Amino acid sequence: MASVFGVLRCGAAGVLALALALPAQAADYGHYLLGDTSAKTPGKVQPGLLLMGGGDRNFDAMRWFMQHAGNGHIVVLRASLGGEIGEEFFNEVGGIKSVETFVFKDREASTDPKILAALKRADGIFIAGGDQSRYVRYWRGTPVAEALDAHVRAGKPLGGTSAGLAMQGEYLYGAMDGGSQISPRALADPLGPENTIETGFLHLDLLKGIVTDTHFTERNRLGRLIAFVAKAESMAGRPLIGLGVDEDAAVAVEGDGTARVYATAPMAGATVVRGGFAKQAEDEPMKLDRVDTVGAGTGSVLHLPDGRVDKPAFERRYAVRNGVLTAMDTPMLVIHGGAGVEPGDLNKEEEQAARAALEAALRAGHAKLQAGASSLDAVTAAINVMEDAPQFNAGRGAVFTHDGRNELDTSIMDGATGKAGAAAGLHRVKNPINLARAIMEKSKHVMMVGDGAEMFAKEQGIELVDPSYFRTEKRWQQLQKALAAEKNAQASHTPLELPGKAYFGTVGALALDAQGHLAAGTSTGGMTNKRYGRVGDSPIIGAGTWADARCAVSGTGWGEFYIRDAAAHEICARVRLAGESIGQAGEGVINGDIPKAGGDGGAIALDAQGVAAFPFNTGGMYRGWIGADGVPHVAIYKTDKLPLPR
């Protein structure tokens, strides 16, 4: 037996604003009502569908829905929680006569006459979020599903958010196994049992031939939507399309199928996936040479059910290679010049020089990508520029060791092949990243150190310089200050405790080329006043540098902790195995694992879809990116805004 809830509310005229109908004795469900269901609907009821991506408080979209319901009577259906969404509709969105919410606990309530009567008289029906498998189990083949179809046929609006959107397409992901599918698993076996695609639920003409999905953020759900379309096509025997709605967006569809986007965040919108995929093999990862997607933004017009988009926000091409979704023809370059820089560390001229050097590095790498060169070429070119710039602790700007020498470390990795090269303890190699690449491409080894590495560099024609090339006055004075601090500590018999910042100083670059291949590289001058041939994470594959088919990372921070946590590899492992977005994975490692262990620093990360992340936990990190348009974007301090590409 459902609980009885009653609250008295008064409107402007002082009339009773709340009534409560008792549920039928045979069914167990929650029932909440705000307003007066007997009041006359003030406006004209019009057909429409509201497809909300799952975010909160998209009030402009909700007002569109209420207006299409004639600002009359709304019925909310859900299978969890209580009447909260109805309270928001009535009290915050406002402008309607009543909101009645039914919370289903089982399938029995789907035949309850009071619920069916409410659905029949409703001017608008809204399906809340939650677990869509409950909706399928509770409603498919019941009078409730028939009532929803009849409501739309009668020219009345239907809306839904999150699961309430996902279940409206002709084909839908039902989550029938009790889980929530992630893109890597979905693409690893698109026809497999975890992609629980359902049909025969609702029959909405404007969503015929469409598979819907929600909570699109950072495109990390795009892979699973593509897999859903593939499985649905195997069931339908005809081409379908996918429609994914960003978490901060809603698609409002008029009765004629034209739709516009309401967004609560910049660049939020919807993504149309063109189906008609090649037949996929059972128990095998997806393989597709081409997947076309089109974005609908706030300035676009989307046409349903055919999926045409006027004034698209973007048009992107992808491929799926052995279950890995990869962006094609959308080159991207991401760089860092080291974490640990703090406000006040640089004067105006130094800051300007650093920004100029970052921009020059981005342009150098971008020029390679625009010319059709590989991601490896772009990474090498960008790092060469930063190694030549005295503003960064790498190459020309390397810091000094305890004995007054410059000691350089570096590494590079090719995500397409898994090959890597690294070198440590260098004193004469002008651009260490070039040696790392030569080791990767022209030797049987991964890492070389010291004199042997420089002997190999000479054999390969890599430029060597006199060690004095690396001497800069600023770095020399930093060493003198560190030596003085060490001497004072020894004299006072107190341990010298270095801040994490003392271990920072690195440059790095990541690139995604037009063929969808990733690469990563890192180069460093080590730490000021280091002894005993100390080596940090920068030349260690998996610690400071990593690239594979779906993810690339370059770190900058307290190397000992990055080594212990295999930080760069850990970020990419979370993307591959846990299905985390590149942003989630980067935050979890750099702002979770590393500080928990006692370290700090930052990283840059880039995935195969061209999504970049810049996690760091210091006052600043030299960083930047450049995309297909060739416009460099750079930042230094945490307070600097660095808009990311959509």
Catalytic residue among 506, 528, 545, 618: 506
Q: Is the pLDDT higher at 646 or at 628?
A: 628
Q: Quick check: 584 and 627 in contact, CB under 8 A?
A: no
The 3-state secondary structure of 130-164 reads CCHHHHHHHHCCCHHHHHHHHHHHCCCEEEEECHH
Q: How many CB atoms lie within 10 A of CB 41?
A: 16
Q: How far apart are CA 184 and CA 157, in angstroms?
A: 36
586-593: average pLDDT: 97
How do residues 292-345 score in pLDDT, each as one tens digit?
Answer: 999 999 999 999 999 999 999 999 999 999 999 999 989 999 999 999 898 988
Catalytic status, residue 506 = yes
Q: Would you say 534 is a known binding-site residue?
A: yes
pLDDT at 445 over 80: yes
pLDDT at 631: 95
Using alpha carbons, select from 528, 514, 537 the residue that is nearest to residue 594.
Answer: 537
Single-letter amino acid, residue 468 = S
Q: Quick check: 73 and 96 in contact, CB under 8 A?
A: yes
What Cα–Cα distance (Å) separates residue 383 from each residue in 35, 394, 586? 65, 9, 21
- Using pLDDT thresholds of 50, 70 and 90, give the confidence band for residue 490: confident
Q: Would you say 45 is a known binding-site residue?
A: no
Q: Quick check: 328 and 515 in contact, CB under 8 A?
A: yes
Using alpha carbons, select from 380, 342, 407, 323 the residue that is nearest to residue 513.
Answer: 380
Give the gyration radius of the chain's Cα atoms.
29
- Using pLDDT thresholds of 50, 70 and 90, give the confidence band for residue 498: low
Is 523 strand, coil or helix? strand
Mean pLDDT of the chain: 91
pLDDT at 482: 77
Is 614 strand, coil or helix? coil
How do residues 596-612 score in pLDDT, each as one tens digit?
Answer: 999 999 999 999 999 99
Q: What percent of the chain has pLDDT over 70?
A: 93
pLDDT at 322: 94
How do residues 242-278 score in pLDDT, each as one tens digit?
Answer: 999 999 999 999 999 999 999 998 889 999 999 999 9
Indicate the helix (H) or strand (E) that contains 562: helix 559-564
List CB contacts of 607: < 8 A, sequence separation 6 or more. 550, 551, 552, 575, 581, 582
Q: Would you say 537 is a known binding-site residue?
A: yes
Using alpha carbons, select from 22, 206, 200, 245 the residue that is nearest to residue 114.
Answer: 22
List CB contacts of 615: < 8 A, sequence separation 6 or more. 583, 586, 587, 589, 590, 591, 602, 603, 605
Q: How far apart are CA 211 and CA 597, in angstroms?
A: 44
Token pair of 594 as six digits: 């590393």
**Residue in this structure with the two tokens 């305890």, named with its chain if needed:** 402
Q: Would you say 557 is a known binding-site residue?
A: yes
pLDDT at 618 over 80: yes
DSSP string, 399-426: PB-TTS-B-EEEEEEETTT--EEEEEEE
pLDDT at 624 over 60: yes
Sign of CA dihedral 582, 586, 589, 592: negative
pLDDT at 9: 30
pLDDT at 503: 57
Q: Is the peptide bond before 305 cis (omega within 30 degrees of 0)?
A: yes
Q: Would you say 558 is a known binding-site residue?
A: yes
Is 621 strand, coil or helix? strand
Q: Quick check: 97 and 35 in contact, CB under 8 A?
A: yes
- Using pLDDT thresholds of 50, 70 and 90, give the confidence band for residue 191: very high
How do residues 344-401 score in pLDDT, each as one tens digit?
Answer: 889 999 999 999 999 999 999 999 999 999 999 999 999 999 999 999 999 998 888 8
Q: Quick check: 536 and 563 in contact, CB under 8 A?
A: yes
Is 603 strand, coil or helix? strand
Mean pLDDT lowest for which of 263-267, 496-500, 640-644? 496-500
Token pair of 130 as six digits: 């939650």
Q: How far apart are CA 537 and CA 520, in angstroms?
A: 14
DSSP string, 211-267: EEEEEE-TTTTHHHHHHHHHHHHHHHSS--EEEEEETTEEEEEETTSEEEEEESSTT
Token pair of 7 as six digits: 């609250």
pLDDT at 500: 55
Is 639 strand, coil or helix? coil
Q: How far apart are CA 146 and CA 163, in angstroms?
A: 19
- Using pLDDT thresholds of 50, 70 and 90, give the confidence band for residue 480: confident
Q: What percent of the chain has pLDDT over 90?
A: 78
How do residues 509-553 score in pLDDT, each as one tens digit?
Answer: 999 999 999 999 999 998 878 889 899 999 999 999 999 999 999
Q: How far apart are CA 280 and CA 277, in angstroms?
A: 8
Q: How many CB atoms lie within 10 A of CB 183?
A: 24
| Adjacent-strand bridge partners of 622 | 338
Indicate the helix (H) or strand (E) that contains 292: strand 288-296
How do residues 88-124 score in pLDDT, each as one tens digit?
Answer: 999 999 999 999 999 999 999 999 999 999 999 999 9
Q: Note the maximum CA span of the chain.
A: 92
- Using pLDDT thresholds of 50, 70 and 90, give the confidence band for residue 476: confident
How do residues 33-89 score in pLDDT, each as one tens digit?
Answer: 999 999 999 999 999 999 999 887 899 999 999 999 999 999 999 998 888 999 999
- Using pLDDT thresholds of 50, 70 and 90, give the confidence band for residue 17: very low
- Sheet order of strands, 518-524 included: 447-449, 420-426, 408-414, 518-524, 506-512, 332-339, 620-626, 632-637
* Dihedral of the alpha carbons of 438, 443, 446, 447, in degrees to the nearest 10: -70
DSSP string, 300-344: -EEETTTTEEES-SEEEEEEEETTEEEEES--EEEEEEEE---TT
Q: Would you say 248 is a known binding-site residue?
A: no
DSSP string, 39-52: SPP-S-B--EEEEE
Q: Would you say 556 is a known binding-site residue?
A: yes
pLDDT at 130: 86
